[in-house]
A = this chain, B = another copy of it.
């Protein structure tokens, strides 16, 4: 998905039609919600909310939510869910939310879980799907991970659509990152090409928080909390030794959002190194000399937070790729540890470097309460969209409002910039020089 200039038409959500069924939310005695709760057709928010907007002044995003007329008949609707890519806190919350709300709000009881991501739609899946009931999923939000399992890589799109047809699926919820959403876009396009009525709805998952139109991705807050704890431990280690230097590697292949937020939450970090910033290592203005001066001035300890994708200008990558096609990186944490030790050896000064790579510990924990709520919301809005017959879209979150975003509008991943407010918050809580960016 490339980054092009968005047109108004790019933001119009595709929808099967006509929609003639009244929403059960309106008719069910138990629910019987007020009219004021429904989203009106065409209800939008501005993409640029400044009073003096820029060139995107005309662009609007469709507000997510239930509509009074729906497309799918609850009695004959079969839904499927799959989760792809790396783990992220909240996956089970999303699964649970979809199963609960489909039943409670739309009386849709036939929901299956596709096992191990898109692999479950291949011709030879690792495991068959499981039937998901409220009882089956009632406690899953207490655990991290995903009860459906996950995997990387996609089978051929046409095969996946064949299998959706074979299984009689009417709506597919794809929970995953960049690659997963691209895959969902291809599936949705193939379905439209074949003139089928299968809704494909994406729920963006990215612990890096780098999906456009998603202000804060689910699991991100939980991950920040855990990364903060790891930083606190490294801080303690650094203070426990003379010229102690703690290094914590934090997830983030190409975006530093998780690292930067964790640094702000910690308040004790001296250097924040992210993929977007090519910091100098050697020489007078470089990290090593700066660190040396810092140790002398500030109690003989220092704390460095480094994103896994930072420093590629210094170490390159391995040349290998994983099953998702992601390039494998060299270990920047190990590299920094070695470089710092070598430098201090050359200066004949003591240094004690402690390197922590919390890795999976950050992403496999259960969602915290913020993400519990956020994931339930995402699930509910995804269902509303699907029941209304919308397709080829994901749920976004923009200026505090849940919105429906066509897959085609997504464009390239978010990156931090040197003048964004988050980076200024980082600069204000670290000791690092501003001219590294």
Residues on A lying within 8 angstroms of B by beta carbon are 30-34, 36-37, 43-46, 49-52, 60, 63, 65, 87, 96, 100-101, 104-105, 116, 119, 126-127, 139, 141-147, 149-151, 215, 221, 224-225, 228-230, 232-234, 236-237, 239-242, 244, 261-262, 264-267, 300, 350, 354, 356-361, 364-365, 368-370, 372-373, 376-377, 380, 399-401, 418-419, 421, 424-425, 427-429, 433-435
Tell me which residues across on chain B come within 8 A of A50, comparing CB atoms.
43-46, 63
Q: Which residue of B lies closest to A234 (CB)?
A: B360
Do the beta carbons of A242 and B87 come within 8 Å of each other?
A: no
Tell me which residues across on chain B come within 8 A of A356, comparing CB atoms.
359-361
Complex CA gap A141/B357 in Å reads 25
Complex CA gap A264/B50 in Å reads 32
Given A224-B370, A350-B126, residue A87 in contact with residue B36 (CB < 8 A): no
What are 29 inter-chain pairs, A to B, with CB distance below 8 A? A32-B434, A32-B435, A33-B427, A37-B419, A44-B51, A45-B50, A45-B51, A49-B49, A49-B399, A49-B401, A51-B60, A87-B237, A116-B242, A119-B242, A126-B242, A127-B242, A139-B143, A143-B236, A144-B232, A145-B236, A221-B369, A225-B370, A229-B361, A234-B360, A234-B364, A262-B369, A264-B376, A265-B370, A267-B372
Tell me which residues across on chain B come within 8 A of A424, comparing CB atoms.
33, 37
Tell me which residues across on chain B come within 8 A of A369, comparing CB atoms.
221, 224-225, 228, 262, 265
- The interface centre, meaning the residue of A105, A141, A377, A428 with most chain B CB atoms within 10 A of its CB, is A428
Tell me which residues across on chain B come within 8 A of A358, comparing CB atoms.
358, 361
Which of B145, B225, B401 touches A240 (beta carbons < 8 Å)?
A: B145
Do the beta carbons of B364 and A429 come within 8 Å of each other?
A: no
Which of B34, B126, B376, B419 touches A267 (beta carbons < 8 Å)?
A: B376
Q: How far is the CB of A359 from chain B (nearest CB, A)?
A: 6
Do the beta carbons of A30 and B434 come within 8 Å of each other?
A: yes
Complex CA gap A365/B221 in Å reads 18
Q: How far is the CB of A341 from chain B (nearest CB, A)?
A: 13
Tell me which residues across on chain B come within 8 A of A144, comparing CB atoms.
232-233, 236
Tell me which residues across on chain B come within 8 A of A224, comparing CB atoms.
369-370, 373
- The interface centre, meaning the residue of A101, A241, A261 with most chain B CB atoms within 10 A of its CB, is A241
Do the beta carbons of A360 and B233 come within 8 Å of each other?
A: yes
Given A87-B240, A433-B30, residue A400 in contact with residue B215 (CB < 8 A): yes
Q: How far is the CB of A350 from chain B (nearest CB, A)?
A: 7
- The interface centre, meaning the residue of A240, A365, A435 with most chain B CB atoms within 10 A of its CB, is A240
Q: Which residue of B lies closest to A215 (CB)?
A: B400
Do the beta carbons of A33 and B434 come within 8 Å of each other?
A: yes
Complex CA gap A66/B414 in Å reads 25
Tell me which residues across on chain B come within 8 A of A350, comparing CB atoms.
126
Q: How far is the CB of A14 from chain B (nearest CB, A)?
A: 19
Complex CA gap A265/B375 in Å reads 10
Tell me which residues across on chain B come within 8 A of A360, comparing CB atoms.
233-234, 237, 354, 356
Tell me which residues across on chain B come within 8 A of A142, comparing CB atoms.
142-143
Beyond the given A45-B50, A224-B369, please list 5 additional residue pairs across the A-B interface where CB-CB is below 8 A.
A144-B232, A225-B369, A236-B364, A237-B364, A267-B372
Q: Which residue of B lies closest to A65 (CB)?
A: B421
Complex CA gap A116/B37 in Å reads 43
Tell me which residues across on chain B come within 8 A of A65, comparing CB atoms.
421
Tell me which residues across on chain B come within 8 A of A100, comparing CB atoms.
428-429
Do the beta carbons of B364 and A261 come within 8 Å of each other?
A: no
Which of B145, B240, B370, B399 touches A146 (beta carbons < 8 Å)?
A: B240
Tell me which residues across on chain B come within 8 A of A221, comparing CB atoms.
369-370
